[in-house]
Amino acid sequence: MDWTLINGLIRPELAVVLAVCWVVGYILKRTPRVPDWSIIYFVTLVAVIFVCLSAGWSAESILQGILVGAVAIYGNQLYKQATKAAEEDDHAGKGL
């Protein structure tokens, strides 16, 4: 996947919303009563609301919110998988 395409779809000023979505996702993940399957919906909803509040209510704002939420979730999964792979490589290298 070419990240320049994704960067072209999401407005740069929405980076703050992306960071907020990461924090919201982290907090929800640490909350025992929130099921994992629901986190994607909460994060996407937060992204849509924040984008619409900052850019106005329009179809483009809703789409931007969905994209920001999706990138936040994808970025989190990418980080988790890379960290997990690095840990497995460390264990394999030490003979554990």
pLDDT in tens, 51-71: 999 888 999 999 999 998 988
Q: pLDDT at residue 1 above 60?
A: no
Return the pLDDT at 2: 59
Q: Which tops the pLDDT comparison, 54 or 10?
A: 54
51, 18 Cβ separation under 8 angstroms? no
Residue ranges per structural domain of the chain: 14-93
CA distance 93 to 52: 48
Q: pLDDT at residue 83 above 60?
A: yes
Q: Which tops the pLDDT comparison, 12 or 55?
A: 55
Banded model confidence at residue 43, pLDDT cuts 50, 70, 90: very high
Banded model confidence at residue 95, pLDDT cuts 50, 70, 90: low
Taking alpha carbons only, the member of 34, 33, 66, 37 closest to residue 49 is: 66
